[in-house]
């Protein structure tokens, strides 16, 4: 198994923006909070100091996590993909086996997943069930409410705006 982290160019840009925000705004802000809290004296009973140190720890952890993901990023430009098979980056239109309702999802990296935007992580059970399938293929997915069947109606690849 590869340690590479698949992501779209949009997801890569989003992580880079978050990293910049953490380093240029959040980190200096929390350092200032810690200095101000230290000035209040006894650190053992200083709630502001403890809260600022906890926030600093979170920020530093998130910076390290993002830097690692960016280093391991396998940026997949979905606009350059084509074909009839479901792969990372594809926009997949499904028809629910119980009716005629259709829904389209894009398969994206873990950090890009957003159900409101109909972007599902490549590691999600639905995405894993679709990978490798083609238009016309049917599959069943076990859910908490019982098995559900789907048919793949369309597979397409398009350029994503970089937001």
Rg (CA), the chain: 21
CATH code, residues 5-75 = 1.10.287.180
Query: Where do the domains of the chain lie?
Result: 5-75, 78-156
Tokens 């639905």, residue located? 126
DSSP codes, 28-89: HHHHHHHHHHHTTS-GGG-HHHHHHHHHHHHHHHHHHHHHHHHHTEEE--GGG--SSB--TT
Lowest-confidence region among 13-27, 109-123, 148-162: 148-162
Average pLDDT, integer, range 82-92: 89
pLDDT tens digits for 110-143? 889 999 999 999 999 999 999 999 999 999 999 8
Q: Comparing 5-75 with 78-156, is the CATH topology the same?
A: no
Query: What pLDDT score does 162 carry?
Result: 54
**Each residue's pLDDT tens digit, 26-84:** 999 999 998 888 887 766 677 888 899 999 999 999 999 999 999 999 998 877 887 88
Q: Note the CATH number of domain 78-156.
A: 3.10.50.30
Per-residue CA distances from 149 to 4, 24, 98, 140 (Å) = 31, 48, 7, 4
């Amino acid at each position: 198994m590869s340690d590479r982290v698949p992501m779209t160019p949009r997801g890569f840009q989003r992580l880079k923006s978050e990293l910049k925000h953490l380093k240029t705004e959040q980190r200096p802000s929390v350092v200032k909070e810690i200095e101000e809290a230290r000035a209040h004296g006894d650190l053992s009973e200083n709630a502001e100091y403890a809260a600022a140190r906890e926030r600093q720890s979170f920020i530093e952890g998130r910076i390290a996590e993002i830097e690692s993901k960016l280093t391991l990023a396998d940026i997949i430009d979905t606009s350059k993909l084509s074909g009839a098979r479901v792969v990372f980056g594809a926009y997949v239109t499904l028809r629910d086996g119980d009716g005629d309702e259709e829904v389209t999802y894009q398969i994206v990296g873990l950090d890009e997943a957003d159900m409101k935007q109909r972007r599902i992580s490549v590691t999600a059970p639905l995405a894993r069930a679709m990978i490798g399938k083609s238009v016309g293929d049917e599959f069943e997915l076990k859910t908490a409410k019982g098995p559900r069947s789907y048919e793949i109606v369309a597979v397409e690849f398009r350029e994503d705006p970089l937001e």
